[in-house]
Amino acid sequence: MAGKFITFEGGEGAGKSTQIARLKSRLERMGKTILATREPGGSPYAEDIRAFILAGNAKPLGAFAEALLFTAARIDHIDHTIAPALRAETHVLCDRFADSTRAYQGASGEVEPALIRSLERAALNGLRPDLTLILDLPPETGLARAGARRETRSEEIDRFEAEDLTFHRKLRETFLAIARTEPDRCAVIDADRSADDVEGAIWEIVSSQLPRLAGQRERNADVA
Ligand code: Z5A
């Protein structure tokens, strides 16, 4: 694939959307072609599945059925949005991806991690993010941010935000465990600080991991 694929992960209200918008602007000012997308969603059928799941309609079917629906949405998103963009040398910034299925559907404890990994392998079919930025912060802080934003927009609480604190703590642990297991792909960013500071930390990682994308000179062969 000619474009670079960067995914953003983390718990509720971690600041992913905020930081994707900032990184996109920065890279576009440097003349790069960037596509910002999200999961679940990012293609017409996947957006339909998103609306169904986030309204809580799939919850009665159980965590495995939800994992299947997230996977179906991901297949459509990859086929119709991500893969064509990467082939066209567009760099893709994606708000959540397969690590969210590992964390959210895994956090329920109802789905075997091996089963989630099998679904992931089938859906991704060899596609792997070049870099995954895990925005880490205490769940209490993220939920407070998400709640404040929801109130200003008069939105309803969604399917996953409504889960208890134990679930959100488990999520955080799972994301950190993924980062420990795949340190070549994942970087953990302390997201419990100002948006400007988080943006700076993200830029440092992007510059060191994908120097050509960030307009830096190559240091070795394993570069953007
Ligand atoms: N899900 C799943 O279960 N399995 C899967 O496989 C996938 C997803 C792919 C999608 O919801 C849900 O689907 C998600 C997981 C599940 N859980 N939920 N809910 P979503 O897309 O609607 O929500 P989200 O992905 O959790 O994103 P979010 O809540 O919108 O958060 P965010 O994008 O990380 O944060 P933000 O919008 O940038 O910021 C949140 C607020 O905080 C906002 O008012 C900002 O202005 C503010 N903010 C941002 N940064 C800061 C800093 N640094 N300081 C203070 N305030 C800040």
Does any ligand 1 atom lie closer than 6 A to the CB of residue 13?
Answer: yes
pLDDT tens, per residue, the chain with 224 residues: 699 999 999 999 999 999 999 999 999 999 999 999 999 999 999 999 999 999 999 999 999 999 999 999 999 999 999 999 999 999 999 999 999 999 999 988 889 999 999 999 999 999 999 999 999 999 999 999 999 998 899 888 888 999 999 999 999 999 999 999 999 999 999 999 999 999 999 999 999 999 999 987 655 444 44
Amino acid, res. 84? P
Question: Is 85 part of any domain?
Answer: yes
- Residue 95 within a domain: yes
Residue 214 lies in a domain: no
Q: Which atom of ligand 1 is nearest to the CA of 191?
A: 53
Domain with 14, as residue range(s), is 5-209
E strand intervals along 108-196: 131-136, 186-190
Instruction: Tell me, yes or no, whether 23 lies in a domain.
Output: yes
Q: Pick from 45, 25, 33: which is nearest to 2 by CA?
A: 33
Contact 111, 105 (CB under 8 A): yes
d(CA 174, CA 102): 8
Q: Is 161 in the pocket of ligand 1 (CB under 6 A)?
A: yes
Residues 139 and 11: beta-carbon distance below 8 Å: yes
Cα–Cα distance measured from residue 7 to residue 129, given in angstroms and rounded to the nearest whole number = 6
User: Is 88 within the bounds of a domain?
Assistant: yes
CATH assignment of the domain containing 168: 3.40.50.300
194 lines ligand 1 (CB under 6 A): yes
- When divided into structural domains, the chain yields a total of 1
Atom 52 of ligand 1, residue of closest alpha carbon: 195
| Nearest residue by C-alpha to atom 30 in ligand 1 | 13
Task: Give, using CA atoms, the residue closest to atom 40 of ligand 1.
Answer: 13
Quote the pTM value.
0.96
For ligand 1, what atom is nearest to the CA of residue 104? Answer: 3
166 within domain boundaries: yes
Asked whether residue 221 is assigned to any structural domain, the reply reads no
Q: Would you say the CB of residue 136 lies under 6 angstroms from ligand 1?
A: no
**73 assigned to some structural domain:** yes
Ligand 1: distance of its center to the CA of 218 in Å? Answer: 33
Nearest to 37 by CA among 102, 89, 82: 82
14 CA → ligand 1 middle, Å: 6
- Indicate if ligand 1 lies below 6 Å from the C-beta of 195: yes
CB of 216 sitting under 6 A from ligand 1: no
- From the CA of 96, give the closest atom in ligand 1: 9
